[in-house]
Every structure is written in structure tokens, then in C-alpha cells.
Structure 1
Amino acid sequence: MDVLELARWQFAITTVYHFFFVPITIGMSMLVAWFHTSWLRTRNPDDLRLAKFFGKLFTINFALGLVTGIVQEFQFGMNWSDYSRFVGDIFGAPLAFEALLAFFLESTFLGLWIFGWGRIPEKLHVMCIWLVHIGTVLSAYFILAANSFMQHPVGYRYNAETGRAEMTDFVAVLLNKVQLVTFPHVVTAAYMTGATFVMCVALYKMRKAHRNADSGGGELAADVPMWKRASRLGAIVTLVASLGVIVSGDFQGKIMTEVQPMKMAAAEALYHTSDSCAPFSVLTVADLGGANPKHVIEVPCLLSYLGTGDFNGRVEGITELEAQYQQEYANNPLTAASTYIPNIPMTYWNFRLMMGAGFFTMIVAAWVLWATRKNNVPMGTWVHPLLWITPIAIMLGSSFGWIFTEMGRQPWLVFGEMTTATGVSPSVSAASVWISMIVYTLLYGVLAVIEVKLFLDYIKKGPEPFEEPRQIGEDEKLEFAY
């Protein structure tokens, strides 16, 4: 493989791996803040125990996400220097806001929340975890603003003398129409992911506590109502967030059809323009390159509605768009490409896997609400594997969506302005990329083992017994509570 392929593989591996942690961090921070707030309002001991228990899991995930996220910006300068030079003036502002505002907000107030039990007033203490959550959301906003520029560049002018894109309107970059639909879609998906983890962990602990009750076990039997509340809250948030994902995804599809018609066409394997009533293919069979599709299952006119809001709307096809792009971009060194068609199987199937994982999680959440009604505790042997499969499914669903977003943009780094092939570092050798990719992959493998082991250990251990928070004296040492 040449440097371009290796650089793309390395960025794909590290970015997808990092994105495993992001939705969990955003979603769980909100639920931890919810439990802590509920404790402050009701003084229910269960809420305090849940806040601390899920706070530990959130902290573990936050730490791993922080470590893996640092590598992303490092790669911009190492493997994609020409790209960094081109978009540096644009990316500098949102990435600086993300680091100086959002990240410092997260890390500072997370530290205050962890160490602040009994040291700061309770209302200020609960505000700390809400500020952590706000920081995670702001971080997502600024990162997505930078990514949305790559999907639909706005608020800039191209300086031919320097070969750089120069920012002319920072507000336009922040309020990019792609950003305004992508951000709610990503955040609601993150809420769905975090809530799914809470739902499944709580249901697992509830089953274990109920089993102890049936066998005359110890004090865990008294925790069944606590875990039931947590699992049902997780299920409710999952379902409510899923509605947000669906609605925002519908808006996102219409914006995508407007600004990136090739991505929409690739997502549906639509090779020829449909002037009206374009069908949505649920299942398509084609050759390995994605050509010659045969729509096995399709819904008439649905694609036209998803793309335009009109069941008779016009949706452009891959073949016609390829001819248009060849005529429009082929004569510019920065935008010339052998083909402007993305990998059809990757875009088509990642789009469907993303939706499939989301709908599967919705079904499980609805089942949890039904199965835990009144005094019911689902104890079937088939439930246990479901509690493993569901969090993995929703986590992979988020990753499938991210892969679709980035693969569907190809061959562009910045749509209409710079192709991926022109952004790679000219002085980096294939050997150096191989070495760094192997090191990162092995390191990430070790971190994955650490993350899973810590998660399982703390889940198995469960929450600490309730203890009324007390004010810590000035002379007492400040110790890490976890």
C-alpha cells in the first residue's frame, strides 16, 4: 500500500476507535448529572448511590476518550500536512474553542466533582457535573463545526497565492447548515448510547439482585427497586433520544441531498437520476464494486421523500453526477480525481447497519419498559446475552454512521475544494506510517482491554453502601474517591 492508503487506514482506525468513547461520555455525563440532581432534590439514597456508581464508569470512559482523542490532531500534522496547511485558518478557530473552552470546562469541573464531595456546597457540587456535561456537548459542537466545513465549506475564500482557504465569517462556519442538522443528530445518538449502557447495566444488576432475593441472598436483594428505576430511566431516555435521532436524521438527509447529492445517491446505490418517486431500497444485491444493483426489497417513493420532502421529488443518480463532477472539477490539480464515486458497498451497507442498530436498540428499550412493569423482573436465560449485544450494537451503530459520513464524502477531503489524494503529507514515508499505525493499533488494543476490565470490575463490585456526605475538615487530606 502507498502512503495515501496507509494514512487513510491509520486515520480510520484511530478515529473510529476514539468515537467508541465519545457517545458514551456525552450520554452518561447527562444521566450521572440527572441522578445527582435527583439526590439533591429528593434525598433518596438510591439516587446518590447511582450517581456515584455510574460516575465511576463515566470517569473511566472519559479518561480513555481523552487519551485516544489526542492522537487525532497529531495525525493532521504528521500524515496530512498539505490538508492542514489548506484548512488551518478555518480549523484553527473551532479547534481552539474546543480545547480552550470545552475541554477545560470538562476536565476542570470533572476534577471538582470527583474531589468535591463534602468540600463544596451541594448545589455548587451538582452544578459541576452539569458543567462537565455541557462541556462534552460544546466539545462535540466545535468538532462537528470543523467536520461540517469538510462536508460543505462556507465562510471562507480561497487564496490562490498561498494555496490556503482563509476564513471570512466564523459565524457562518459555526452555523453551517450541515452543522445545524448534524449536531442534534450526533448528540441525540449519544444520549441514546449512554442511556442504553445505563439500561443494560442496571438490568444486569437487577437480575443479579433478584436472584439473590430468590435464594435468600444478602443485602443486594434490597437493591432491586433501585436498579429497576435506573433501567427504566435508561429505557425511557433511549426511546426519547431515538425519536430525536430519527427526526434530526430526516432533516440531515434532506440537507445531504442538497449539498452532497453524490453521498445520498451512493447511500441508496441509485445509479441513474430519478425525476420523480425514487424508491428506497431496503436490500440491494450488486457486484463487488457496487454496480449493476438489483433491488430485492424497496419502498416506492420513500427515497424522494427522505431526500426532498416530496414523494415525487427529484433525486440525482451516481452516473449523471459523475459526469457533472468530471466536467466541473477535473481541470483543477486540487480537485481532479479519476472518479468522484465513493465506495458504494461501504456507504450503502454502513447506512443500513447504522439504522438497523438504532431500530434494534429501540425495540430492546421498549421491551425493557414492558418487561419491568409492576413487580416484574425478566429472568429468562436469553436476557443475559441481550444485555451484552445491545450496548455493542448501539456503539457500533454510532460508528457505522461516522464511517458512512466520512466514506460517503470521498474522494473529497473538503467537498469541491480538495481531494483526499492532494492532502497527504508529501515527505512522510510508507514505513513511518506503518510504524506509527502498528504502534497506535497495539496501544489501542491494550487500552481496550484496560477499559473493558475496569468496566467489568466496577460493574461487578456495584455501588457502595449509602453514606450521608459529610463536610470534610480543612486539615483532612484530599483523596481520590474512586
Structure 2
Amino acid sequence: MDFLDPLLLARWQFGLTTLYHFIFVPLTLGMSLFVAIFQTAWYRTANVKWLYLTRFFGKIFLINFAMGIVTGIVQEFQFGMNWSSYSRFVGDVFGAPLAFEGLMAFFFEATFIGLWIFGWNKLPRGLHLATIWITVAGTWLSAYFILAANAFMQNPQGFKMSEEGHRAEMANFGEVLTNPVALTQFPHTIFSAIMFAAGVMVAVAAWHLSRKQHEEMMRPALRLGLWSVVIAFAGVALSGDQLGLVMVQTQPMKMAAAEALFNNACGANASFSLFSIGTPDGTSEIWSLRVPHLLAFLSTHDLNGCVEGINDLNAKYATELFPQFADQVDGNFAPILWVTYWSFRWMMGFGGLAALIAVVGLWVTRKNAKRPVAGWMWKIAIWQAPLALLGILVGWVFTEMGRQPWIVFGQMLTQDGVSPSVPGWTVLISLIAFTLIYLILAVVEFGLIFKTVKTGPDPLPGPDDPDPSDLSVDQTPSTVY
């Protein structure tokens, strides 16, 4: 293996920076919703505990939002730095949703988040409440435009090839935005983001409750978080089922690789292995725990449905669909099987474990529980926070690695998208630099969040204290946040 291979280094750099950036994205998408819910509860009830929860989780949201912006800027620069051939080929199409995300959605959310931060005690309460809900809409809209751009890579549509045949040109922007991959991937992303943000809220509340701090505020936050994890997991499962159907229609090789299925299978033979022992590439199986018909059902919603295998798809791709690319990939259009096989299962496993812990948490913290919550239970609740995030990250590994060897499915191979004139050593230098910078940013980010969490919300006011709903002169937004 050539460790100065520009393609290898460029893929590692984009993968690492993207996964690091995506640590902050789902927390922003989910936490903005919970902050809006808390503020709505305060607006409707005038109970100051909801105001204090709004401010407390608002701090976490804003810290995370700022770091997401910083790390996200790097992503777009890499298209021109390391992937110039890809940018030239698909820029006319891929750039449109990214432009909408930057010029409309991002500035939309940035404007209203500014009004929310500095509008306390300046805007009418109803109007101020509207700003945080508009911020939620802006962050979700931003996510949709990004997913629409990514969906073009998974299932290119709404374009035509240029006359010389070297560049994809926009033909129908509506088709780009209504790509079935984007339409199914969006709710899957939002539900998983809510699940992660709810897990963070559960962990924060559990940490304080284990120390018997802020119980009047943290108990409702805990219960809301636990219910949200369970409900969001149901949404993740249902939307993931629909996304799987679309995946089979648009990228059948990805589903075959997820099961390491080499030959066409139908009905009971199209089984799904919950666990398997064999060679890393999946070509030889020693033992597996299988559920008959499950792969057929996941792929077709028919217990007796048929699923195409890797060998059959390779033959079809090489002779019928993409013969012009067959020599470049030596007739093998399958991704790295051990990556797709295990990432698909870890994705479901992490999410399912987080939901199971939430269900147990709802039971042990119920109103009429006869026994107090044990200390080890609080520790599990605290450490379950990253489970949903880990599921999200390996899910994206499956999504992107499962598309290989394509950078744009059926149109361009990944090896053809890298910048031809960028030597490997320059990519290596930038990879090391980004890694070091991101490590420093991680220390700053998590340090700020941990400090905020440990400090906790302000104690609830006593009967003789001033009304906390009115920010006094020394309670300016800069001190509140």
C-alpha cells in the first residue's frame, strides 16, 4: 500500500473531517428542538423552571452550533483542494443545493438565532419564542439541502451530460431536490438527531439527579429525554425501512454488500444474519445466526421476495449497465464487504441499545416506582449518551463506503474524482494539520460543554427573589449565554 497515494489520503481526510463535523450536526438539529419546546412550555405556563431549562440547554446548543460552523467550513474547501476533478464534473448540479444551503438556509438560521440570543427582554415574548422555532426550521432546512446534494451522489437525477460528455449539467432542479433518497434520508436523519440530543439531555439530567441537584428541573428533563429517545427510535426504524427500500431500487449492490450476499436469493434463502463468523471479506462463512426471510422483507416488503447478489450484480454492471467502467475496477463493483456488513449491524445495534436503556429508564423513574434509582443505573444513563451518535456515525460510514467504488453512482468512479495535480505529501500535510486542529477544537468544545453541564442551571428563585422572567440590567444576553 502506497501511504502517499493522493487518492487514499484524500479519502481519509474527507472521511475524518466529515465524521468529526457530523458529531455536532445531529446535536444542533435535535437540541434546537428541545430548547424551543422548553421555551414554549415557559411561554404557556409561566413556570420559571422551563425558562431556566431553556437557558441551560440553550448554552449547550449555542456552543455546539458555533463549533459545527467552524468545522463545516472545511468540508466545502476540500472539493476544490483534493477533489477538483469531481467538482468540475458535478459542480453545476452539486453546487446548487449547497448554494441554497449557504445563501438561504444558513443565513436564515443565523439571523434568527441572533435575534433569539439578543432578543431577551427586547422582543415581545411571543415573537421571541417564534425566533427559536424559526431557528429550528432553518437548521432542518439546511440539513435537507445538504442531504439533497448527497442524494445526487447516491442516485443522480435531474441532470444531463454536456455536449462533450465530460460534465453533468443541471436539467431539473426540482428533481434534484425531490430525489427519493433525500426524501427518505431526511426524516431518518432528523429522528436520529433527536434521538442523540435526547440522549445527551438524559445524560445531563441523570448526572445532576445522581447528585440530588436541581431535581425539580432535571426530573422533567430526564423524562422528556427518555420518551424522546423511544419515540425517535421508532421514527428511525420506520424511516430506515423506507430508506432501505429506496436503496435496493437505486443501489442494489449496497444492500447485497450489507449482507455479503453473493448469489441471488429469494424467500427463506434471502435470510439476514444477525451475527456471522467468517473471513473478513465475507467470501467464506464459518457460522452465522440467521433470520429466514428477513433480508427479503427488508429489501422488498415481501417475505418471498428476491434479492440480487454481488456476483449477479457484478455481471449485470460489467456487461449491461456500466461496461465502460468494468476494466477500471477489474469487473468488481462491490464495496469493502467487512465495512458494509459490520457498519450496517453496528448502526442498528447502537440505536437499539440506546432505546432499550431509555425504556428501562422510563420504568425505573416512573412516578409510582417503589425503589429508588440505583447508582449504577444513573451511570448507565450518563454513558448511554454517545450510543445514538455512534449509530449515526457508523450509519454514514455504511452510506458512503457502501456506494464505493462510485463517487457519483453510475457516473464517476471515486478514483477519477481526485485532483490530478495534487501530490500525496501535500494532502498528508493538510491531513495532519486538520487532525491536530480538530483535536484542539475537541478539547475546547467538550471542555466548554462539560463545564456548562457541571455548573448546571441557576437555582430556582425563592418567593422574595425578583422575577427571573425579566432580565435586569446586569443580566444581559452575554451573561445569560
Q: TM-score, normalised by structure 2?
A: 0.94
Aligned residue number for residue 234 of structure 1: 225
- For the pair 1:113 / 2:116, whether they are aligned, the reply is yes
- For the pair 1:267 / 2:258, whether they are aligned, the reply is yes
Match of 2:24 among 21, 25, 32: 21
- Structure 1 residue 294, shift from structure 2 partner: 4.0
Checking the alignment, whether the CA contact within 8 Å between 2:273 and 2:290 is kept in structure 1 is yes
1:203-257 residue CA offsets vs partner (Å, 9 max, x unmatched)? 2212212xxxxxxxxxx4xx31321111000111111111111111111111111
Checking the alignment, whether the CA contact within 8 Å between 2:318 and 2:325 is kept in structure 1 is no
Aligned residue number for residue 468 of structure 1: 468
Aligned residue number for residue 214 of structure 1: none
Aligned residue number for residue 213 of structure 1: none
- For the pair 1:370 / 2:363, whether they are aligned, the reply is yes
Q: Equivalent residue of 1:332, what SS?
A: helix
CA 479–283 in structure 1, closer or farther in 2 if over 3 Å, else same: closer
Q: Equivalent residue of 2:273, what SS?
A: strand
5+ residue gaps, structure 1: 210-219
Which residue identity does 2:134 align to in structure 1? Answer: L
Aligned residue number for residue 290 of structure 1: 282
Checking the alignment, whether the CA contact within 8 Å between 1:85 and 1:164 is kept in structure 2 is yes
CA 86–46 in structure 1, closer or farther in 2 if over 3 Å, else same: same
Match of 2:246 among 245, 255, 261: 255
Which residue identity does 1:468 align to in structure 2? Answer: P
CA 25–364 in structure 1, closer or farther in 2 if over 3 Å, else same: same
Which residue identity does 1:47 align to in structure 2? Answer: W
Which residue identity does 1:469 align to in structure 2? Answer: S
Partners of 2:100 and 2:171 in 1: how far apart? Answer: 17
Which residue identity does 1:455 align to in structure 2? Answer: I
Match of 2:84 among 61, 81, 84: 81
How many aligned positions are there?
469
- Structure 1 residue 329, shift from structure 2 partner: 5.7
Moved more, 275-284 or 28-37: 275-284
CA 151–224 in structure 1, closer or farther in 2 if over 3 Å, else same: same
Checking the alignment, whether the CA contact within 8 Å between 2:9 and 2:428 is kept in structure 1 is yes
Checking the alignment, whether the CA contact within 8 Å between 2:90 and 2:168 is kept in structure 1 is yes
Aligned residue number for residue 357 of structure 1: 350
Which residue identity does 2:306 align to in structure 1? Answer: R
CA 16–149 in structure 1, closer or farther in 2 if over 3 Å, else same: same
CA 124–472 in structure 1, closer or farther in 2 if over 3 Å, else same: farther
- Superposition CA RMSD, Å: 1.9
Match of 1:392 among 369, 386, 393: 386
- Structure 1 residue 323, shift from structure 2 partner: 1.7
Partners of 1:375 and 1:228 in 2: how far apart? Answer: 14
1:343-377 residue CA offsets vs partner (Å, 9 max, x unmatched)? 10100101100100111010111111111111658
Where in structure 1 do 4 or more consecutive aligned residues deviate above 6 Å?
A: 475-478
Checking the alignment, whether the CA contact within 8 Å between 1:154 and 1:173 is kept in structure 2 is yes
Which residue identity does 2:10 align to in structure 1? Answer: A
Partners of 2:325 and 2:251 in 1: how far apart? Answer: 21
Q: Which residues of 2 match residues 281-430 of structure 1 at below 5 A?
A: 281-328=273-320, 331-332=323-324, 336-338=328-330, 339-374=332-367, 379-430=373-424
Checking the alignment, whether the CA contact within 8 Å between 2:48 and 2:469 is kept in structure 1 is no
Which residue identity does 2:376 align to in structure 1? Answer: W
Partners of 1:153 and 1:136 in 2: how far apart? Answer: 25
Partners of 2:44 and 2:250 in 1: how far apart? Answer: 47
CA 464–335 in structure 1, closer or farther in 2 if over 3 Å, else same: farther
Aligned residue number for residue 131 of structure 1: 134
Partners of 1:159 and 1:328 in 2: how far apart? Answer: 23
Aligned residue number for residue 432 of structure 1: 426
